[in-house]
Amino acid sequence: MSDPTTITNRAARAGRVLYGGLKRRGSIDTRTLAVFRMIVAVLIVGDVLSRSRNFHFYYTDDGAVTASMASDGLNVFAYTSDPTIIAALFVVHALVALQLLVGYKTRVAMVISFVFVISLDQHNPLVTSYADVLFRLLLFWALFLPLGERWSIDAVHRDREARTSVFSIATLGALFQMIAMYVINGYHKSGEELWTGGEATPLIMGLDDTTFLLGETMRQFPELLQLGGLTWYYMLLYGWLLFFLTGRLRLVFAGMFVVAHASFAVTVRIGAFPYVAMAGLLLFAQGEFWRDLDRLARLVGVPVDRLHAAAGRVGAVALVFPRHIPTAGGELWTRRAVYTGVYGVAAFLVVALALLAVGTGAGVVPADEGPKEQVEDVAYDTMIYQPEWSIFAPIPRTTDRYHVFAAQTTTGERIDVYNDREFTFERPGKELQQQYGTYRERFYMNSVRRAGDTGSASLALAEHLCETWEGEDGEELTHVNMYYASEDVTLETIDSPEDRDRSTQVIYRHGCGDHEPTVINPPSLVE
């Protein structure tokens, strides 16, 4: 029988081995974190610019999504309805993202960016998608990561050498966030024959309201799509290997996911999701990736040493930025106040979340809620809850859709105000995705469709059309009927929409002003 000391030593040795393996797999290279920081900043700026295209329609009370339709929770936009102030907050959001890009006061910039990202999604939940959910969750873990450790102004200001890699609960959380999304989505798909048999991907590529760019070309190769779909399905199921594999094997497996997401970006119009996912996958790139990249660059003749020297000269520019908050000089009062305000916002967020999480002393959380309910409330208020990750699962969508908004004018004319044409239920074109000015419009129209005749989204949109539409001769609308048409996509009709079974469903009927709702028939039926 082994003595207690031997057992203790063996347990300690096993613990060290397990911890070493966990640390080796859960560490993130600080160069990877630096690039991740830059990508996050670029995604934020791109998102702000994209949302700005429909600013008045989606984010002010002059549009179809008013402040009353915002979600409850953390939302800096909830304190004003002035379009000018909201626009100014958009600008601040983008400027803070640029601060994050260069890595100046990185932690503060990350906290403020996180608050703005949440606020935008809370302010208009009708246009959000899984891309926004994944982005929020990755940003949450990024709050606790040293994103400014390398290639940043903060790194130049720092007096110590940068760490090569970091390991913490936050690094594990960020990595497992990606793994959880993949594995859970694969689990949802595992019970559906369309996925296990490989037919799902060709059918999805037949959706004209979602596919674009190379999507139509890829339809010509259904067997290749089936193979790709099956490969993707098994990659999802075995997504946990992203953590357990190390070295070049991990790089190869993560690279397969990157290639898959890159293919989505040029075939399926799902917004920022491929780019957000690729940013998350970057976190799996450890030291081997950077060493191999350096060797490859030298092999193809890239002047690596000269680039490093140039980067050092550029780094000298960072010295222009103040390292600490100024403490002397009356003329610096404004700058000091700005710094104080920024740190104050960060501190306020942390304290507010702590109060929400620990109790009811501030009267924020109902006293009859237990710890589980309080944690859930905080998660929903800050939008860091885990969704079902049922992307195209368990049953992939095999129904194409387009919208027809029948309207009658004061002159008796019947038109389709959504597609700007005479009222008809015929397809508005072959590429249905062109119905939507931006990818967020498709998600918005899904919200309108789900709202039906009882939700606020459809009512608000109908009233907005009544109030803003005006004909060439000054005529106005008297009635609006909102419909969506569905086409069943089969393997035989992937590229021939004219052969599909089609049906039409009403979303909502509305009477403008004092008019009562009524059914508007197409001109062909009236005649």
pLDDT score for 370: 65
For residue 136, give both structure tokens.
């929020």
Q: Look at residue 365 and tell me whether its pLDDT is greater than 60.
A: no
Which pLDDT score, from 0 to 100, does residue 367 have?
53
Residues in the chain, overall count: 527
Q: What is the mean pLDDT of the chain?
A: 89
355 has pLDDT over 70: no
Asked if 47 and 108 touch (Cβ cutoff 8 Å), the reply is no
User: Is 304's pLDDT higher than 70?
Assistant: yes
pLDDT 10s digits, 425-481: 999 988 999 999 999 999 999 999 999 999 999 999 999 999 999 998 899 999 999
Residue 165 pLDDT exceeds 60 = yes
Buried b (16+ CB within 10 A) or exposed e, 471-500: eeeeebbbbbbbbbbebebbeebbeebeeb
**Contact criterion met (CB below 8 Å) for 378 and 356:** yes
- Convert 305-353 into a string of H (helix), E (strand) and C (coil): HHHHHHHHHHHHHHHHCCCCCCCCCHHHHHHHHHHHHHHHHHHHHHHHH
Element (H, E) at 155: helix 153-157
Q: Dmax of the chain from CA atoms?
A: 99
Mean pLDDT of the region 284-288: 95
Choose between 196 and 381: higher pLDDT: 196
Residue 1 has pLDDT above 60, yes or no: no
Query: 381 pLDDT band (50/70/90 cuts)?
Result: confident
> What is residue 382's predicted lDDT score, i.e. its pLDDT?
79
pLDDT of 119 > 50? The answer is yes
| 266 — pLDDT class (breaks 50, 70, 90) | very high
Contact 23, 167 (CB under 8 A): yes
Q: Is 72 exposed, middle or buried (0-12, 13-18, 19+ CB in 10 A)?
A: exposed
How far apart CA 480 and CA 486 sit, in angstroms, is 20
**How large is the average pLDDT for residues 337-360?**
47
Q: Indicate if the pLDDT at residue 372 is higher than 70.
A: no
What integer pLDDT is reported at residue 335 of this predicted model? 47
**CA 465 – CA 474 distance, rounded (Å):** 14
pLDDT in the model for residue 232? 98
Give me the half-sphere count of Cα atoms (radius 13 Å) on the Cβ side of residue 78.
16
Given a contact cutoff of 8 angstroms between Cβ atoms, the answer to whether 417 and 423 are in contact is no
Helices and strands (H and E) in the chain: how many:
22, 7
pTM for the structure as a whole: 0.90
Per-residue tokens: 94: 């983008």
pLDDT at 353: 45
Range of weakest confidence among 157-161, 173-177, 296-300, 513-517: 157-161
Q: What is the mean pLDDT of residues 308-335?
A: 64
Q: By three-state DSSP, how is residue 67 classified?
A: helix
Residue 47 has pLDDT above 60, yes or no: yes
**Do 386 and 395 touch, CB atoms closer than 8 A?**
no
Q: If you average pLDDT over residues 71-95, what whole number do you get? A: 95
Structural domain boundaries in the chain: 29-166, 399-526
Q: Which residue would you say has higher pLDDT here, 227 or 336?
A: 227
| Residue 354 banded pLDDT, cuts 50, 70, 90 | very low
| Mean pLDDT of the region 37-60 | 97
**Interval 68-73 mean pLDDT:** 92
Report residue 165 as tokens: 């890699």
pLDDT at 366 over 80: no
pLDDT > 80? residue 523: no
Local confidence band at 346 (pLDDT 50, 70, 90 cut-offs): very low
CB 520 within 8 A of CB 423: yes
Q: What percent of the chain has pLDDT over 90?
A: 76
Looking at per-residue pLDDT, the higher value among 317 and 65 belongs to 65
